[in-house]
Amino acid sequence: MYLYLLGLLVLYYLYRWLRELPRVPNKGSKYVYITGCDSGFGNLLARHLDQQGFRVIASCFTEKGEEDLKKSCSSNLITAHLDVRSKDSVAKVAAMIKDKVGQQGVTVPSGPCDWLTIDDYRSLLEVNLVGVISVTLSVLPLIKKARGRVVNMASVAGRLSMSGGAYPVSKSGVEAFNDSLRLNMAPFGVKVVCIEPGFFKTNMSDPELLNNNFKRLWEKLPQQSPAMYLYLLGLLVLYYLYRWLRELPRVPNKGSKYVYITGCDSGFGNLLARHLDQQGFRVIASCFTEKGEEDLKKSCSSNLITAHLDVRSKDSVAKVAAMIKDKVGQQGLWAVVNNAGVSVPSAPCDWLTIDDYESMLQVNLNGVIAVTLSVLPLIKKARGRVVNVASVFGRVGATGGPYIVSKYGVEGFNDSLRINMKPFGVKVLCIEPGFFKTNVTDAAILSKNVQRLWDKLPQDVKDDYGPEYLPKALSFIPEKLAKMSDGDLMKVVHCMEHAVAAVRPRTRYSPGWDAKLFWLPLSYMPTCVIDYILTKEAIPVARGK
């Protein structure tokens, strides 16, 4: 039997090798746009593709990088200065490429890194994540025209966060953008490919530039039990019984423990604030609107404190953090629950601009990081909790747009922070809800968002999707959400409460049957299976027919 399996394995790899051997013809007429060519992978790739006969457009951040590359390549290679943080720089290079390639089209990969205040996160995310999105969107019409390729440089850190800082956050975001773009572009014949390198000797793996001992962090990761025991029903029952008993105890002295919750105007945050207030915690509930604060005060005890918070504003975040510091004193802050978030704009990737991405990332990702960092010293003092609300869409890139990117980013931040805070006794926990009836899944809001974005699209993009796409999308949204959304929000709130109050909380919570039985199992499937399932019932586009 084992020889038979070995034979099948050999045949599979032989088949795959033969299938992947053929290369595209007419390399001399195909333009390839590469970012980050000053050194490392980008530099080597530019030289290699130039030798193979492709028309390489190599962007560098420095003049020296351009000069060195020109010296080592043929006259066919074109260099350009590019700062991916600058919209003008991205647009200028995109315009140059459009002039060069004409009606042919283009192919795109990317690259680079650093860490720890919210400004550190923002500066790295602008390069590693927003830069990737910005460059891609700037040339996406040309790629669609050529039915070409988008090659995104992620990292194994986009799959498993082994260090702190913004790097794994950015690479998780690249993975999300790659997945959502791949699904969106499949009908147009555009292949979206992800490179996930391990550790190589480049500037990014220079020991002098790295502040963390990856080996030490890796060794701290919990070891999983052998999977074979999960198949034994008896042990499975015992395990769940043990877990239930283990997770029953709640922390004592709730009346002296402060819990800071964002996004309490409505939905999960509002219900959690009321629930924890009833349980005796000292709740600090931040709202975006005055009405939200007033309504919450009316329905809670006098112990509850409300605060106005705009997570996009450094001043607002700092002001609330200062107030909390005065309140909690030397005992510190027991928990922060990062619940604030938005779901629009959301649409296929090529409907959106980089501003659309940035506006949501400011709330859903940068807001989470900013709030957490603002009170992290207080949480360390209390050996408390950080509870981040992500989503099943932080596991599976099921739609286009920035929502998935932001939630993948939250997952990356959560994982890296969990490892960093473990030595300090701080528990970092993640809530990954499925579909529930909140503002995030409000069909009216989402439909209005789709209509607004469609109205702004240039005619050529509308033609790509066809006149039937919009009406089908507008009927698809309420129909699907009605079927999938769970009205019992307390399922999520109970998970949040457990994360805050249990003596032994879980690392991750997946409230909702759709999360447990569909989205999470799907996230462990091979990419080809995920793509097949998600695109099987997708709305057909005109150019994909």
Residue 466 pLDDT exceeds 50: yes
Give the residue among 394, 291, 395, 300 at the shortest CA–CA distance from 338.
394
> Are 525 and 388 in the same domain?
yes
What's the CA gap between 536 and 280, in Å, rounded? 49
DSSP string, 283-339: EEEEESSHHHHHHHHHHS-TT-EEEE--TT-HHHHHHHHHHHHHHHGGG---EEEE-
Domain membership of residue 20 (yes or no) is no
**Burial class of residue 205 in the structure, from the number of CB atoms within 10 Å of its CB (0-12 exposed, 13-18 middle, 19+ buried):** middle
Residue 431 pLDDT exceeds 70: yes
> Are 189 and 55 in the same domain?
yes
> Are 394 and 270 in the same domain?
yes
Residue whose tokens read 């509002």: 270
Alpha-carbon distances of 322 from 122, 156, 285, 302, rounded to whole Å? 22, 37, 15, 21
Estimate to the nearest angstrom the gap between the alpha carbon of 364 and the chain centroid.
10
Please tell me the number of Cα atoms within 13 Å of 212 on its side-chain side.
Answer: 21
What's the CA gap between 349 and 353, in Å, rounded? 8
What's the CA gap between 49 and 30, in Å, rounded? 11
Residue 113 pLDDT exceeds 60: no
The last residue of a domain, from among 151, 173, 195: 195
Domain membership of residue 141 (yes or no) is yes
> Are 190 and 262 in the same domain?
no
pLDDT at 508: 94
CB–CB of 62/38 below 8 Å? yes
Alpha-carbon distances of 340 from 8, 302, 312, 336, rounded to whole Å? 50, 23, 11, 12
Structural domain of residue 319, as residue ranges?
A: 254-536
Residues 6+ apart with CB under 8 A from 423: none
> Are 191 and 258 in the same domain?
no
Torsion 254-436-449-150 (CA) sign: positive
> Are 158 and 286 in the same domain?
no
Query: What is the value of pTM for the model shown?
Result: 0.75
The last residue of a domain, from among 146, 177, 195: 195
Residue-wise pLDDT tens digits, 26-62 = 777 777 888 888 888 888 888 998 888 888 888 888 8
CATH code for position 152: 3.40.50.720
> Are 376 and 513 in the same domain?
yes
> Are 392 and 260 in the same domain?
yes
Domain membership of residue 438 (yes or no) is yes
Residue 516 pLDDT exceeds 80: yes
> Are 286 and 142 in the same domain?
no
Q: Is 33 part of the annotated catalytic residue set?
A: no
In terms of pLDDT, which residue wins out, 177 or 504?
Answer: 504
CB–CB of 352/456 below 8 Å? no
Residue 424 pLDDT exceeds 90: yes
> Are 180 and 309 in the same domain?
no
Domain membership of residue 12 (yes or no) is no
pLDDT at 223: 53
What's the CA gap between 520 and 510, in Å, rounded? 8
Token output for 206: 């220079």
Residue 363 DSSP one-character state: H
Domain membership of residue 214 (yes or no) is no
Residue-wise pLDDT tens digits, 185-227 = 888 888 888 888 877 766 655 555 555 534 443 444 445 444 4
> Are 269 and 404 in the same domain?
yes
pLDDT at 202: 66
Residue whose tokens read 């015992």: 238
Element (H, E) at 370: helix 366-382
Instruction: Out of 33, 167, 258, 403, pick the active-site residue.
Output: 403
> Are 320 and 183 in the same domain?
no
pLDDT at 165: 67
Domain membership of residue 138 (yes or no) is yes
In percent, the amount of the chain with pLDDT more than 70 equals: 87
Instruction: Say how many domains are in the chain.
Output: 2
Domain membership of residue 487 (yes or no) is yes
Domain membership of residue 209 (yes or no) is no
